[in-house]
């Protein structure tokens, strides 16, 4: 179906999604490199209403997520980054202690 579903219990490699037209291997509900996140309209709506946006553990290079800090700043949100190393977003965010 392409939609997230709850799964109760341990996930095994042989488990299949039986909600899909053709049963296929399960995958976690995460966005892999090169994929478009689900709910982009909702994401941009949330960014437009945010008072603060915190970017955690990001390279700031992979879009569309790399543009979220800038989008939040356009709507006057305070922005913070939490990373082990300095990245290109440093000029757009407050430094965390």
SS3 of the chain: CCCCCCCCCCCCCCCEECCCCCCEECCCCCCCCCCCCCCHHHHHHHHHHCCEEEEECCCCCCCCHHHHHHHHHHCCCEEEEECCCCCHHHHHCEECC
Residues 5-29: tens digit of each pLDDT: 888 888 888 888 777 777 777 888 8
Spatial CA neighbour of 58 closest among 26, 84, 92, 31: 84
More confident residue, 87 or 76: 76
Which domains are present in the chain?
Answer: 35-95 (3.40.50.1220)
> Does the predicted TM-score (pTM) go above 0.85?
no
């Amino acid at each position: 179906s392409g939609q997230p579903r709850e799964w109760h219990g341990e996930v095994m490699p042989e488990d299949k999604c039986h909600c899909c037209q053709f049963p296929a291997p399960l995958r976690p509900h995460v966005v892999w490199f090169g994929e478009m996140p689900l709910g982009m309209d909702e994401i941009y709506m949330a960014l437009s209403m945010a008072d603060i946006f915190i970017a955690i553990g990001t390279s700031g290079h992979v879009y569309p997520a790399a543009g979220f800090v800038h989008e939040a700043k356009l709507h006057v949100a305070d922005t913070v980054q939490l990373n082990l190393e300095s990245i290109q977003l440093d000029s757009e965010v407050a430094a965390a202690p």
